[in-house]
Amino acid sequence: MGINGQWPCPPIKGNIGDEIKINLANMLGNQTTTLHFHGLFQHNTTFEDGPAMVNQCPIAPGGTFVYQFKLRQAGTYWYHAHVGGQYIDGLRGPLIINDPKAPWAVAGSQWKVDHEHTLTLTDLYHKEAPYLIHYYLSPENTDLNGGAEPVPDTALINEAQGSKFTLSPGKTYLFRVINMGVLAGQYLQFDQHEMYIVEVDGVYTLPKKVDQLFVAVAQRYSVIVKAKSTASQNFAIVSQFNTDMFGSSVTPPGMNPVGTAYLVYDASKPLPQPFTLTPKPWDDTELIPWDKEPMLDGPNVRSITFSVDFGVDNYGSTRGYMSSFTYVSQKVC
């Protein structure tokens, strides 16, 4: 599913303080749709948040809707459909909100960057979402005692294999990394290039040097990468599913859990063979906010406990439960 005749869907970019206005015309023909802007608080504009039958009525085929709100947060976000599994089928894209006062934007800062790249991670399914969701929620899904999510077929970087990111020697780059996938958390590593984390989910952090990221579904990182001093060779980028998270015993035939891309210094030189990525988990609680705001104190009035679990409903479908209740969609909007 694309936007304005193109796929991958175009990025939405703005500056903090801008007013954004999106005129959405639903031309899907036989499906309703909405858009959700993932990570934005939508303070006083909850009706622009997108989840169908929760914050807004779904937009009927042939119908239109205007999303209009102020960009009050800076950082790396994304947007996606919020009806059925439409974002599984491609209706998703980056949402980038620039901040002239960001640590990497201030002139004279040691972290000042010269250019930006957006790098998305996705997990591609060869079957379309309506089938996947129907099977997942049906009593026919008895994989591992019922309820295991379908496993994706292929890991992608920027919705493809072999994407290229141009680098110039001696320059400094900001990579905005977004996992726009459905199920798979992914490890990400640049060959022979260190990454300095400077933003997580819209929060600036003190720079943290890492060799590898683990990016959960819907999570975003901004990392600074300093280019080599010469253009003597090109380098591989590798992403890899964390297959330990898959609850299913059914693996798609020919599954490729590895995505490949390249840092291209010289287009006339050959592209390297992708390296073997060895996962190196690390504790992201080590990250420190840029403003060093301390953690909130513990609750001083009362604590409310929710139990979260999976169970089988009266129809034999596996559902998520919170304190013994599962979500039931409204019947009328």
- Contact (CB, 8 A) for 35 and 24: yes
H helices present in 45-156, as ranges: 129-137
Predicted confidence band at 176 (pLDDT cuts at 50, 70, 90)? Answer: very high
- Contact (CB, 8 A) for 206 and 244: no
**CATH classification code of 115-286:** 2.60.40.420
Q: What is the pLDDT of residue 177?
A: 98
- Please tell me the distance from the alpha carbon of residue 207 to that of residue 223, in angstroms, as a whole number: 9
Taking domain 12-98, whether its CATH number is 2.60.40.420 is answered by: yes
Prior bond to 8 cis, omega within 30? yes
- Contact (CB, 8 A) for 275 and 191: yes
269 or 317, higher pLDDT: 269
145 or 21, higher pLDDT: 21
In one-letter notation, the amino acid at residue 254 is G
Predicted confidence band at 333 (pLDDT cuts at 50, 70, 90)? Answer: low
pLDDT digits (tens, 9 = 90+) for 232-251: 999 999 999 999 888 877 78
pLDDT digits (tens, 9 = 90+) for 281-327: 889 999 999 999 888 888 788 888 899 988 888 888 888 899 989 98
- Contact (CB, 8 A) for 94 and 37: no
CA distances from 199 to 108, 223, 291 (A): 19, 7, 12
- pLDDT score of 188 more than 70: yes
303 or 58, higher pLDDT: 58
- pLDDT score of 146 more than 80: no
Coil, strand, or helix at residue 226? Answer: strand
pLDDT digits (tens, 9 = 90+) for 68-123: 999 999 999 999 999 999 999 999 999 999 999 999 998 888 999 999 999 999 99
- pLDDT score of 145 more than 70: no
- Please tell me the distance from the alpha carbon of residue 113 to that of residue 308, in angstroms, as a whole number: 43
What's the mean pLDDT when you consider all of the chain? 93
- Please tell me the distance from the alpha carbon of residue 181 to that of residue 177, in angstroms, as a whole number: 12
Nearest to 312 by CA among 105, 146, 78, 201: 146
- Please tell me the distance from the alpha carbon of residue 27 to that of residue 58, in angstroms, as a whole number: 13
- pLDDT score of 218 more than 90: yes
- pLDDT score of 166 more than 90: yes
Coil, strand, or helix at residue 131? Answer: helix
> Where in the chain is CATH 2.60.40.420?
12-98, 115-286
- pLDDT score of 67 more than 90: yes
